[in-house]
Amino acid sequence: MNKQLHLEAIESLFDEVQRQKIFEDQKMMTDAIPRYLVQEIMSKYEEEKTKETFNLKEFILHYFDFPTTNQSYQKNENLSIEDHIEKLWDHLTKTSKEDIGTLLQLPKPYIVPGGRFNEFFYWDSFFIMLGLKESGRVEMMRNIVDNCAYLIHKFGFVPNASRTYFLSRSQPPYFSLMLQLLADTVDDKTLLIEFFPTLEKEYNFWMNGEQEIANNQAINRVVKLEDGTILNRYYDAKNQPRPESYWIDVMDNEKSDKNDFYRNIRAACESGWDFSSRWFADPSKIETIEKLNILPVDLNCLLWNTENLLSEIIQIIDSKSPKIKYYQERANKRKTAIQNYFWNDDKGIYVDYNFSKKSQTSSEHVGMLYPLLFKLAENSEADKVRNFIENNILHKGGLVTTTKESKQQWDFPNAWAPFQWLGYQAFEEYNYKDTSLQIAENWCTLVEKTYNETGKLMEKYNAVDLNVLAGGGEYPNQDGFGWTNGVYLFLKNKLNS
């Protein structure tokens, strides 16, 4: 029996389950595992659904199994936060030796984020790797890289997460950073050679459509501006509700006048920032989302790093290869474009660019630190960004995501683990050690306070009111939590060194 499930095969049943809100969390049904052949289940559903005695929930529970959520590892009263995280690494380790339900097979064990997220997530895994390095778990770091490579070779990219319903989108392309981190950990640059074809294949996914694109046009994830500049956006080809948030999307779409509302929502999910006023024309209304029109500064910095690393690896392989110049020129052009389109001299920060409106967006967000992370900013610009961050983004509990409060989870006052690492690392690049250490100190102190009071490591934190747990978004704040564990260990070791 083929145990893999594509939700299109149970579309009418799935639609009814989600519309009737059979489960409090709509992700439950997306992760269901059929007990029988899908054709048999659907045939039985069509036969039974018109009967007066038909009970949809009983039917679902009879014909499907459901994975258990990752209940947090219960804190031992005498367990330090570091020892608790060591226990959590084992608790959050999973395997998927075959395609089952919507869960994709992966060749190696992996670490899940925790809570409702019981699959392999792409960009989460980089921040998990930071902590695995501190814990000396190099084999698991390599597992993560191998799993990403497997997915890239099988699908052409790393999906948002390892489920069939995520196969239309990726997440921020952190594979280049994963490779650099692993090579640095094992002190072996030749490891990069092994993964060159994989990294290049992922890069080609992000640049797919470039050859046939005209000026003032967007194809897939590639945008060509009127001056011929090539930059990238997040994208998803499907224009339908996300299965894991089906009814939420249907209701939001009814308030929107956009024909491609669902595609904009999905593109925001590919960015990892789901959701933020950063993507909205009206910062308070998700129905005004215009993600497809926005060129994000962070994505383009990550792709610069990919181009730059590809050129560096080729130099190791063959110092005379013409591909060296090819990727160096691509990286140089992107660096110039990042400066031309994303730097806002009036505010002294990097922002996003709306290519449809031919203007920069107004959102002030922590993504402005990516050009500093990769040393793409001039010293004078880095100094202005630092001033803005210290006055507007850095709070008692660390770096908030934006300056706008919208009730979305990727907005003020929430602080997320990835951006504490980003802030620390970005300011270290420019030797702003007072700022980098302040970020680490503020956030680690908040994480420790919450752990001591609750025994939990949370998905996100309130950086402004340290006595209130973070909220916002489509689901409750989760605990576990992969990237929090990883970034905490990384930053705590920096503070202790």
Q: What is the pLDDT of residue 67?
A: 85
Domain-embedded: residue 423 = yes
Domain-embedded: residue 177 = no
Residue 197 CB partners (closer than 8 Å, separation 6+): none
Looking at residue 105, what DSSP letter applies?
P
| Active-site hit among 134, 202, 236, 459 | 459
Q: With contact defined as beta carbons under 8 Å apart, do 352 and 360 qualify?
A: yes
Q: Which of 342, 334, 341 is nearest to 304 (CA)?
A: 334
Q: What is the pLDDT of residue 74?
A: 66
Helix (H), strand (E) counts: the chain: 19, 16
Domain-embedded: residue 259 = no
Q: Which of 16, 43, 65 is the last residue of a domain?
A: 65
Whole-prediction pTM value?
A: 0.97
Domain-embedded: residue 389 = yes
**Does the active-site annotation cover 274?**
yes
Q: Is the pLDDT of residue 75 over 70?
A: no
Q: How confident is the model at residue 68 (pLDDT cuts 50, 70, 90)?
A: confident
For Cα atoms 235, 163, 487, give the angle at the middle one, nearest 5 degrees: 80
How many separate domains does the chain show?
2
What does the pLDDT average to over 151-171? 98
Domain-embedded: residue 459 = yes
Q: How confident is the model at residue 471 (pLDDT cuts 50, 70, 90)?
A: confident
Q: Which of 44, 65, 86 is the last residue of a domain?
A: 65
Q: Which of 49, 65, 81 is the last residue of a domain?
A: 65
Rounded Cα distance between 102 and 4, Å, is 6
Residue 280 CB partners (closer than 8 Å, separation 6+): 286, 288, 289, 290, 406
Domain-embedded: residue 494 = yes
Domain-embedded: residue 429 = yes
Domain-embedded: residue 298 = no
Look up the domain containing 13 and give its range: 7-30+32-65
Q: Is the pLDDT of residue 253 over 80?
A: yes
**Does the active-site annotation cover 459?**
yes
Q: How confident is the model at residue 1 (pLDDT cuts 50, 70, 90)?
A: low
In the chain, the percentage of residues whose pLDDT exceeds 90 is 96
| Active-site hit among 249, 274, 307, 479 | 274
